[in-house]
Structure 1
Amino acid sequence: MSDEGGVSPEVLRMIQEAQERMTEELFEEMLRSQAHVEPDDLNVLLDVLALGITNSAWRNSCVENWHAEGRLSDGDMMRINTYTTDGVRRRLTGWTTEFGVTSASSAALEEVDGEDADVLAGRLFRWLTNPGRKLPVGMTLGELARTKEDLNEYEDHADRSLGAFVGQMEDRGVRFGLLRTACHGALACAQWWLHPTWPDRVERFVSVLDSPTDTHWGPDGAWRKKLGAEPPSVHDRGVLRATLLKAPWKLDGGAAEWITSAGIGYVQAAVSAEAPSATTSG
């Protein structure tokens, strides 16, 4: 005998039990032990929360299909994903300030209610899906989507993702929902800009650029040799470091393409060996 959607009562029970085991305390422990993120630090929590929202509501959508189709290169994705993460982070800052969350401790999020979360989701949805939103690669979202059908597909995805984001806060409390999404960002996006390990990754990456025999480049530096000449904007290591740390979306197209080809998402030594790996890059 099955329940709704053909799912057996036993499976539904297992799902319910798994959901009940998810608590704020569990997410806090995961952030500390697996991602080396301090969940009580509001600024750090909002950083990884922005990663989780961006990955769910933007990156893991038909946008990735557009990337696979060739509408966007790897360098384009790096610039657009970091720009989008920054936009989400800015809106999180505005939202917390507006609703009185000014403490450095994330415990203040307990004072926020479900209606406040609806406000945040609405703002994020309108910004993310605005067809006139100018992307750092020079086109608008509408131009990237190309057709009304493709734009609608993305809007539907963003609506579902942000709806689920708000739904978990309505069911279990705002801080629970924020911690859950922050865990997603911290664990799935460990190679992205704004993750706490990003500064170490940048330092390591910049250092290997001038070390052609470094293990990052593989046996005999084969990977480095295949890259070809560096774009002019990569030559000044200080400027490159500053741009990668503060605003990677401001890289020119050639530099972004070269940097992603050079494997900035794969450098390892300066990033904590205990930090989780990820399959995506920002």
Structure 2
Amino acid sequence: MGGASSIDRAQAMMTEETVEEMLRSRAGIDPVDLTALLDVLAIGITNSAWRNTCVEDWHGEGRLSDGDMMRVNSHTTHGVRQRLRGWAREHGIRTGTREGLAGLTVEDADALGYRLFRWLTNPERKLPTGATLRDLARTEADLDEYVEEADRNLRGFVARMENNGVRFGLLFSAAHGALACTEWWGHPSWPTRVDQFVAVLDNPADHPYGPKEYERLRPEPAGMQDRSALRAALMRAPWELDSAIAEWLIDAGIGCLRIAPDVPGGR
């Protein structure tokens, strides 16, 4: 019988203090700031219970394009974040401190996990592509596979809160979102990423792929000429972008920009 995985061993050695330090030093996030904490927590949960499931296999099969994935992942992150914020309001949580989260119980953690599970796995959940989750899954077997994987990952999220304390579980998943998904909408580095990307649209020499590769991508889709409107859409709700624009943005390398080290999440 195999032993514990390296991830399990690393997790066993972590404390609230070590995860707090990771968030501060490596992502520039103050874990006491509840808004910032919930933002990256939403990313971490979405990455674990949505993107890193059979959904990624469906993407590889062509059911979702790269642009679709950007739109769907950002929309799902938004939905998870809304539910996290609602849960926090219901429990009177205003800060990410130990004292601010001290009143939460195992039952509260279970209720949060179940709330997220019900929304994520709802077969009629409408995706920004226009399809429902059931449409994307195509078969009951594929839908059941996603439900099982989402359930397993969310049970792991809840188990950390039950076994190590609610605050540790929240911090751990928030650190996953902050450190593993630096190119996502909702990450603290996203505004800088958008600003830098919009700037290079009119300066191909500065593009990370180089001017020759950038020129290969033109012409831009209709609707991109208004840079201010494009920036606003990327900041507010990238899932509302036209599918052709989203596809072009991914091809153009919006996720590949190297953010300056002094910017939160910079690499």
TM range (shorter): over 0.9
How far apart are 1:78 and its partner, in Å? 0.2
Q: What is the total number of aligned residue pairs between the two structures?
A: 266
- For residue 222 of structure 1, what is the amino acid of its counterpart? K
Aligned equivalent of 2:241: 251
Change in CA separation of 1:223 and 1:170 when aligned onto 2, cut-off 3 Å: same
CA contact (8 A) 1:187 1:276 kept: no
Change in CA separation of 1:112 and 1:210 when aligned onto 2, cut-off 3 Å: same
**1:57 maps to 2:49:** yes
CA contact (8 A) 2:189 2:264 kept: no
* Distance in 2, Cα, partners of 1:258 & 1:15: 36
Bigger radius of gyration, 1 or 2?
A: 1
How far apart are 1:104 and its partner, in Å? 4.0
**1:267 maps to 2:249:** no
> Is there any run of 5+ residues in structure 1 with no aligned partner, and where?
1-5, 278-282
* Distance in 1, Cα, partners of 2:266 & 2:259: 13
CA contact (8 A) 1:48 1:194 kept: yes
Over aligned residues, Cα RMSD in angstroms? 1.9
Instruction: Spell out the pairing of 1:163-182 with structure 2 (5 A cutoff).
Output: 163-182=155-174
1:60-93 deviation per Cα after TM superposition (whole angstroms, max 9, x unaligned): 0000000000010000000000000000000000
**1:127 maps to 2:119:** yes
Change in CA separation of 1:148 and 1:236 when aligned onto 2, cut-off 3 Å: same
Other structure's SS at 2:205 match: coil
CA contact (8 A) 2:178 2:265 kept: no
* Distance in 1, Cα, partners of 2:89 & 2:196: 35
Aligned equivalent of 1:148: 140
> Is there any run of 5+ residues in structure 2 with no aligned partner, and where?
none
Moved over 3 A (4+): 11-20, 104-107, 269-277
* Distance in 1, Cα, partners of 2:95 & 2:124: 35
Q: Give the % identical residues.
A: 56
How far apart are 1:275 and its partner, in Å? 3.5
* Distance in 1, Cα, partners of 2:129 & 2:258: 28
Aligned equivalent of 2:204: 212
* Distance in 2, Cα, partners of 1:36 & 1:213: 30
Other structure's SS at 1:39 match: coil
How far apart are 1:17 and its partner, in Å? 6.3
Instruction: Spell out the pairing of 1:29-68 with structure 2 (5 A cutoff).
Output: 29-68=21-60
* Distance in 2, Cα, partners of 1:82 & 1:269: 19
Name which of 242, 248, 265 aligns with 2:232. Answer: 242
Other structure's SS at 2:208 match: helix
